Structure 1
Amino acid sequence: MEVHKGLADVVVSETSLSAIVEGNLSYVGYNIDELVEKNVTFEEIVFLLWNLRMPTRKEYDQLCEDLHEHMALSESVVACLKIQCRQNLHPMSVLRTTVSLLGVFDPYAEDTDKRSVYIQAVSIQAKIPTIIAAFARLRRGLDPIAPRKDLSFVANFLYMMTGEEANPELIEAFNHVMVLHADHDLNASTFTARVAASTLTDVYSCITGAIGALKGPLHGGANERVFDMLSEISESDPIDVPGYLKKKLDNKEKIMGFGHRVYKTEDPRKKHLKRMAEQLSKDFGKEALYSLSCEVEEYLLKEKGLIPNVDFYSATVYHCFGIEHDLFTLLFAMSRVSGWLGHVFEQQREDTLIRPRSKYVGPTNLSYTPMDEEEHIGGDRK
């Protein structure tokens, strides 16, 4: 059997959700450049990824109403979040555990009819921003803020984080970030969700597994590591970008936010995030961080031919929103869950168990010796 490490370039399924063709990314046939430039709302993207078409006005309004209806957290969930506000517990672990708890508290979590699965999906999609905002406030000793029915999905999240309505420009920028992160072919977390869905397990289990995969620093957790790197460089005296990066490269350390398994020239999402990083850094007085990011990009391109991926400039964007860096990956999950759920639905329709093979390379032809006999003959039982 031929082995493809990491399943590189192995096609294991068909999908109608997203495509990467000649360096372009599209959702159900819509190029992401157009979706961003025309200010398509994140709610429209959710409908698109779940239904494989854009909504009518009536369908859009119904989805928004359903999301608002399921956005609030129960007192039991908030109590569990308070318990998790201890030091050294990564926020992604909090999100993973809390999403799993949603299934525990949902009396219909095991129901598999179409309507029940839709409500489970809406509940997960709607509650994740509320979970993130509530946790962010609770760990600072502040009370959670309830969502409002008169605000959009993105505007609600920003409001629940601060208690103040964000300005339209900030809402638009954050909406763009959400759209750009919604889906992306068969990445590690999406594959995790599909593998789980192929076993016919419940939706909560599929998304819990996907969050666990996204937590890893080689996947969604990279944006957090990007900010750590930029902070280390900016806090050094003197600031020496070439020296810092050269040392990393000489030590064979991975530079987070650079390189991609699929894109070899440019990640199509990067140009939008870089543009937003430039504008937001001006708006919030973070120009030095943006300039530093550009210097890092230029050095790595010149010296190693490395290109930024979606994580690199998203770190600067998230920071400009005033969000703590250990919450960055949770924002990724808040968007990507729309794609995960779309893939869960698609895998359920496919109704095929994902069960690859592995090539055995361990020892062979060993003979078992009971422990008592081993002691008598003085051998070494391994």
Structure 2
Amino acid sequence: MFNKGLKDVIAVQTKIASVEGNLGELRYRGVLINELIPSYSFEEIAYFIWHGVLPDDIELRSIENKLINGRQLPFHVQSILDVLPAEISLMDALRTAISAFAHTHFSTKPIQEQAIILAGAIPVIVAKHYRKQQGLPAIAPNPNLSHTVNYLWMLNGELPNEQQVEALETYLKLTMEHGLNAATFAARVTISTESDLAAAITSAIGTMKGPLHGGAPSGVIELLEEIGNQENIKPIVEKKLQEGERILGFGHRIYKTEDPRSILLREKCASMLGSDEWLDLAVLAEKEIINLLSQYKPGRKLYTNVEYYAAAIMQSIEMPPELFTPTFSVARIIGWTAHAIEQLQDNTIFRPKSEYIGTKV
């Protein structure tokens, strides 16, 4: 049976995450994300996804230190970033730098150690090349800062406030893992050949770069910018629906109820109401848009997806659109590496069939 794009084909069995679209549930290692995200840090949930258990105090300090050590890029990787033209996109710079990790000193380490090193390195690579694009000097990582705080520090050169950290960390924790998406599948296919982890993550980054997968939710920002204020929400959205335009940030290929990630991001935004006009508008607009979608597209089950509030949060912390997909990768490296490790534990090379539909002579 041919399923275009392998839609609904079960290609792997995994213990890492489950996405129940009809129930609107996302679980990491069997635990609902709404039970994990509010209570644990980025580092704790990364450990949980990698190992299946939450770390004790000693294990937490160990992974925090290893992530900090991963911020120290090898000399040759730094040199490659130094010579890359500023015009190279952030995702291309990230892909190039990660591919350069495939050297003896790195590849002879246990794969779990490699995963942590790459997770620690990706924010540094993104921040370094981003500042080059802006004509600004690179900022050295600060070993006294957490993973999330250090990322914002290296991007902006100033310490973020508590609300900015909480908003971004919530987003990062919610996007660490999401089943067998295109980039994760690419990583598993590559590692299934018994290639190296750097090659698998390079494949994932190349896949994430595509606008059909990791494209920045700039359309959501454009919509909210066009709306501008509360009074414009209904007339502008109604006009778009009447003209058959798609309202970006609503609807998901998998979730037929609310995207559970958007619920938690909405709650985080709601807790910050009054502190940022952009977040205030996003919360108000969502309610009106869902109401209008139910009127104009009855039965379609179009609910807010993670892109909507991701865009709102990114805008509120003044993160430009070109950083959205790289920042998504800062989080998703956890899931990519977990899947690569799992693939090798019971490996069979991927070799699906193709069906010839051309002419025969």
What's the TM-score, normalizing by structure 1? Answer: 0.84
Trace 1:15-26 onto structure 2 (pairs within 5 A): 15-21=14-20, 22-26=23-27
User: Against the structure 1 CA distance between its residues 282 and 82, is the aligned structure 2 distance closer, same or farther, given a 3 Å change threshold?
Assistant: farther
Which of these residues, 206, 209, 215, is aligned with residue 221 of structure 1? 215
* Structure 1: runs of 5+ lacking an equivalent: 367-382
Distance 1:42 1:296 in 2: 32
Give 2:308's aligned residue: 312
CA shift, 1:182, in A, is: 0.8
Trace 1:80-91 onto structure 2 (pairs within 5 A): 80-87=80-87, 89-91=88-90
Give 1:47's aligned residue: 47
Distance 1:327 1:342 in 2: 24
Q: In the alignment, is residue 185 of structure 1 matched against residue 179 of structure 2?
A: yes
Distance 1:232 1:206 in 2: 40
Give 2:252's aligned residue: 260
CA shift, 1:242, in A, is: 2.2
Distance 1:196 1:248 in 2: 40
Distance 2:294 2:93 in 1: 36
Give 1:376's aligned residue: none
Trace 1:201-350 onto structure 2 (pairs within 5 A): 201-231=195-225, 234=228, 240-249=236-245, 255-280=247-272, 282-286=274-278, 287-304=280-297, 305=300, 306-350=302-346
Task: Give SS of 2:26's match.
Answer: strand
User: 1:163-208 deviations in whole A, cap 9, x for unaligned?
Assistant: 2222333322222111100111111111111111111111011111
Amino acid at match of 2:25: N
Distance 2:160 2:192 in 1: 40
CA shift, 1:301, in A, is: 4.1
Amino acid at match of 1:349: Q
Distance 1:186 1:248 in 2: 31
CA shift, 1:150, in A, is: 1.5
CA shift, 1:43, in A, is: 0.7
Give 1:28's aligned residue: 29
Task: Give SS of 1:26's match.
Answer: strand
Task: Give SS of 1:37's match.
Answer: coil
Quick check: 1:224–1:329 contact (8 Å CA) kept in 2? no
CA shift, 1:107, in A, is: 3.2
Which of these residues, 333, 355, 358, is aligned with residue 359 of structure 1? 355
Give 1:372's aligned residue: none
Task: Give SS of 1:13's match.
Answer: coil
Distance 1:284 1:78 in 2: 37
Distance 1:77 1:223 in 2: 30
Give 2:117's aligned residue: 123
Identity over aligned residues, as a percent?
34
Task: Give SS of 2:176's match.
Answer: coil
Distance 1:246 1:84 in 2: 46
CA shift, 1:146, in A, is: 1.2
CA shift, 1:97, in A, is: 1.9
Amino acid at match of 2:259: D
Radius of gyration: which is bigger? 1
Amino acid at match of 1:211: I
Which of these residues, 150, 157, 165, is aligned with residue 151 of structure 2? 157
User: Against the structure 1 CA distance between its residues 152 and 137, is the aligned structure 2 distance closer, same or farther, given a 3 Å change threshold?
Assistant: same
Distance 1:336 1:233 in 2: 31
Amino acid at match of 1:299: L
Distance 1:266 1:342 in 2: 26
Distance 1:137 1:345 in 2: 32
Quick check: 2:86–2:129 contact (8 Å CA) kept in 1? no
Quick check: 1:270–1:309 contact (8 Å CA) kept in 2? yes
Q: CA RMSD in A?
A: 2.3
Q: Which shifted more, 28-37 or 279-288? A: 279-288
Task: Give SS of 1:19's match.
Answer: strand
Distance 1:171 1:363 in 2: 58
